[in-house]
Structure 1
Amino acid sequence: VVAAASLAWSAHRTGETPTAAYFSSLTRAWELALGALGAVAVAAWPARRTLPRAVVEPLALAGLAAVGWACLRLTPATPFPGTAALVPVLGTLAVLLAGATATRSLVDRALSLRALQLLGGWSYSIYLWHWPLVVIPSVHVDRALTLGEKIALAGLTLLLAALTTRLVEDPVRRARGLALPWRGLVLYPTTLALVVSSAVAAGAYVQRTQGEVGRGAAITLPDDWRRELGTDDPATALVRASARASREGRAVPRRLSPPLTRLLDSTADLAGCDYRDDTNRELCPRGDQDAERTVVLLGDSHARHWIPALEPIAEQAGYRAYYLAKPQCVPWLVTSLRGGTTEPFTACDDFKRWALEQVERLQPDLVVVSSSPGTSRGVLVDGEVVDDPEETARAVRRGTTALLERLDAAAGRTVLLADVPILADDPGPCLSSRPRSLRACLTHERPDHRAAAAAQVRAADAVGVASVRTRQWFCAGDDCPAVVGSTVPYRDGGHVTTQYAEQLARPLGVSLGLLRRRSSRSAPGRRRCSATGRRGGPAPAAP
């Protein structure tokens, strides 16, 4: 029961929050439970029954092959643990069960070599030592480790594991004074108290040190910012000023928004319509719920992060809003693959069909489409998996065109909100390292993503759908600052924080033609137009 429940929970949580699933005892308990079931089976086995070699040899070899396959084929892109962990776990269990019989297999003889037995004896110490020895040096040098460095750290891991096994583990395990029936009642609470107190102390330390990572003031606009920074948009100007401050080596602002300890939690509220649940088919009206006009936001998680900007726009401009955003599900009319697999994302296809039905039923005054390009995962074309970048891009372009044409026929106006830049480096870890200046965290947009985002706009242009570019609110030239003003714009390498999205409500509303500028003054020689409809002419702006 424990194994089945834990495995089901692991599969569910891995799809939602893979990092939490990796470290959670609840999502890993099934692995220990299967080992316990194997131990019970062996204990109940009458006198280590001899099995035919024709059974034991294939069982042991298949188990060893499964573990080897997992080592070579599971990648950082594989959702893990989830069901993918079944391969190494069942493989290990098969090797153990084969070795518990009286029939000795080739695998049994190989694993009985003295060197491998030593590694087995040190294995728990290896497990404990390898993580800090891999992570701390990499963070300290702020780069990926070389092959030689990795080999040296592996050797150091083995040395420390051998020492701690002999000097710490074995003496405690064999100590006569501790060989008492109640030692678990003493040692377990003691170690648990140490773990809990260490965790509380570490949490307090992180909260204190990451609460204020810098000593500088927030970046502000100069008095003559229109002339000096060459734009009439204050949001764009602040990005340019922040990029310049980063290049000049300005100190990180003292108080960042959101605080770095809350950065990963900075996600938009879906108010009951969380479409990550594949069974959720409800509509949640937001914005001005009494308004006669309607706006629909459609897309994946790259649409969801715009909700904090669109919500105040809808309220001020008098629009009832619906946010049809399903994370990892690009809206283009093409079957994408589930992340890290070659399986078609059928739940995404079902959601897209339902979402388009809602758009055609609502007949909204405005549909805003925003999504990641969807060219990095591969797609399904005529029942065949296509992962060639060029073929995938062509299939996505056809799907983009088909979606925009269908939306444009159903809505009063359709606007493509071009994807935000995907950064080459995640700003959060860099800022958390307490850099001396903002220059250390200045990054740039990934070139492949910049080309894919431009292809989105070209597809919209081809069918006469208006588009709003977003890059100017995140990057200045090739430079993308980790802090804009005193706000961290990204919660990871590609998703906007709710705080920064809220700051972009005014410029986004102006670009969509739903809000007016605060000031009538314009930069010399420049005229900014709102997004235009398919038939030309500026979109109507709300008072």
Structure 2
Amino acid sequence: MLIALTLAISDLSYRYVEQRYRQPRSDTERKPLAYATAAVAVCVMMSGGLGYALDRKDVDISLIGTPNYPGPAALLANASVPRDVQLLPSLGKLRRDVPIVYRLKCHQEQDSTQAVGCQLGDPQGTRTIVVAGDSHAAQWIPAIDKIARDRKWKLVTFTKAACPFTLAAVTDEGKPYEACATWRDNVRAEIRKLRPDLMFTSQSRYSDTPEPAMIDGLRSIWSDLNRTGVRIIAIRNTPFVKFDPGDCLAADADKCVNARQEVETSDVFALAAGALPGVRVVDMNDALCGKDSCSAVVGNIIVWRDHHHMTATYALALAPYLAKAAGL
């Protein structure tokens, strides 16, 4: 049984513990803040020690999975979906429905090269897992954080704008993206120090990088980490819908749908993994789209906050399905 949101972290002072990685304060240190305070980054706790990494205080996550908000169960378990229910999150909060790593400044911008990590999950966990990649990896953090807390694992996240976790060369506006390569090497060094049991990764599409080069780059970095004992869970890229979710839903929700074959991208992870040991490719797109179409809303939860990023709320709803697909 999920319980209401309880704890907050100040947006003004970023009062997370400054250890080796940025992290929210421990449960015993967190105190509720008055709503009159400026915007806050909210850490929501659930019964049984579960939590998730979301960046707002205004979505009642206890609604996820209830009869009114089945979310992905509408696609995967044929759950019934009632009509005339307010969407989750509301349209007014849609664009800021993002993982907390953005507010904590550990999702790095394009000019950054530092391996800045957020420590989430269970800070006392005996096992460590990591997330590494671009914003398409970051969008999965609410689900992965819930998985980690459920299993009492530590989670450290390393994500950077438009920077896939691959040894393949990528570009930024047609020029070599040198900051990405430096950041990737720094993160790889940090992961070696952490010696995690498992790494989750995902990435957007990079049309300027030839597919064979991307495949070789992925295989190389996965093989390198696997030799140090790190298992890889590679999540296939999510679709790029052609509508703006907020504008479309405000105008006519019935028109916020695309043919699935038109918005899915090549499964470069499956091509890269091949027979590599220690690598598991997970395709979650059946939990985002129907057999033939991708809609803005599934089970009364808005799937997309923009053309190609999930809402943090929908990502959280995917946690049990991601865990099962990953064999956890």
TM, length-normalised to structure 1 = 0.44
Cα deviation 1:219-253 (Å, max 9, x = unaligned) = 959xxxxxxxxxxxx865413688997xxxx96x4
2:88 aligned partner, one-letter code: S
Cα deviation 1:199-218 (Å, max 9, x = unaligned) = xxxxxxxxxxxxxxxxxxx9
Taking a change above 3 Å as real, the CA distance of residues 354 and 446 of structure 1, as seen in their structure-2 partners, is: farther
Unpaired runs of 5+ residues, structure 2, are 1-64
1:239 aligns with 2:70: no
TM-superposed CA distance for 1:366, in Å, is: 0.5
In the alignment, which of 269, 273, 276 is matched to residue 106 of structure 2? 273
1:343 aligns with 2:175: yes
Q: Which residue of 1 aligns with 2:288?
A: 474
Which structure has more RCO (C-alpha within 8 Å, separation ≥ 6)? 2
2-structure distance, mates of 1:476, 1:267: 24
Taking a change above 3 Å as real, the CA distance of residues 301 and 451 of structure 1, as seen in their structure-2 partners, is: closer
- The residue correspondences of 1:147-162 to structure 2 (distance < 5 A) are none
- The residue correspondences of 1:196-345 to structure 2 (distance < 5 A) are 236-239=72-75, 253-270=84-101, 271-276=104-109, 278=112, 280-338=114-172, 341-345=173-177
1:393 aligns with 2:226: no
1:459 aligns with 2:290: no
Taking a change above 3 Å as real, the CA distance of residues 219 and 286 of structure 1, as seen in their structure-2 partners, is: closer
SS in 1 for 2:297: coil
In the alignment, which of 346, 359, 367 is matched to residue 199 of structure 2? 367
Q: Which residue of 1 aligns with 2:44?
A: none
Taking a change above 3 Å as real, the CA distance of residues 460 and 487 of structure 1, as seen in their structure-2 partners, is: same
- Quick check: 2:73–2:299 contact (8 Å CA) kept in 1? no
Taking a change above 3 Å as real, the CA distance of residues 272 and 440 of structure 1, as seen in their structure-2 partners, is: closer
SS in 2 for 1:475: coil
- Quick check: 1:243–1:480 contact (8 Å CA) kept in 2? no
2:260 aligned partner, one-letter code: E
- Quick check: 2:143–2:318 contact (8 Å CA) kept in 1? yes
SS in 1 for 2:213: helix
> How well do the aligned residues superpose, as a CA RMSD in angstroms?
2.6
TM-superposed CA distance for 1:400, in Å, is: 1.6
SS in 1 for 2:175: coil
- Quick check: 1:239–1:476 contact (8 Å CA) kept in 2? yes
SS in 2 for 1:369: strand
1:508 aligned partner, one-letter code: L
Cα deviation 1:60-97 (Å, max 9, x = unaligned) = xxxxxxxxxxxxxxxxxxxxxxxxxxxxxxxxxxxxxx
Counting aligned pairs with the same residue, the percent is 29
SS in 2 for 1:421: coil
Taking a change above 3 Å as real, the CA distance of residues 351 and 506 of structure 1, as seen in their structure-2 partners, is: same
Structure whose alpha-carbon radius of gyration is higher: 1
1:407 aligns with 2:239: no
SS in 2 for 1:480: strand
Taking a change above 3 Å as real, the CA distance of residues 412 and 396 of structure 1, as seen in their structure-2 partners, is: closer
2-structure distance, mates of 1:242, 1:327: 36
1-structure distance, mates of 2:123, 2:85: 39
- Quick check: 1:363–1:411 contact (8 Å CA) kept in 2? yes
Q: Which residue of 2 aligns with 1:445?
A: 260
- Quick check: 1:243–1:481 contact (8 Å CA) kept in 2? no
2-structure distance, mates of 1:321, 1:267: 18
- Quick check: 1:418–1:469 contact (8 Å CA) kept in 2? yes
- Quick check: 1:330–1:371 contact (8 Å CA) kept in 2? yes
2:256 aligned partner, one-letter code: C
1-structure distance, mates of 2:121, 2:311: 20
- Quick check: 2:113–2:182 contact (8 Å CA) kept in 1? no
2-structure distance, mates of 1:424, 1:274: 25
Q: Which residue of 1 aligns with 2:31?
A: none
* Aligned residues between the structures: 259
SS in 2 for 1:463: coil
Q: Which residue of 2 aligns with 1:483?
A: 297
1-structure distance, mates of 2:79, 2:272: 30
1-structure distance, mates of 2:297, 2:116: 37
TM-superposed CA distance for 1:475, in Å, is: 0.8
1:428 aligns with 2:260: no
Taking a change above 3 Å as real, the CA distance of residues 459 and 244 of structure 1, as seen in their structure-2 partners, is: farther
1-structure distance, mates of 2:154, 2:77: 35
SS in 1 for 2:99: coil
2-structure distance, mates of 1:456, 1:508: 16
TM-superposed CA distance for 1:512, in Å, is: 2.2
In the alignment, which of 214, 237, 256 is matched to residue 419 of structure 1? 237
1-structure distance, mates of 2:289, 2:234: 19
> Which region of structure 1 is more displaced relative to structure 2, 264-273 or 469-478?
264-273
> Which structure has greater strand proportion?
2
Cα deviation 1:31-53 (Å, max 9, x = unaligned) = xxxxxxxxxxxxxxxxxxxxxxx
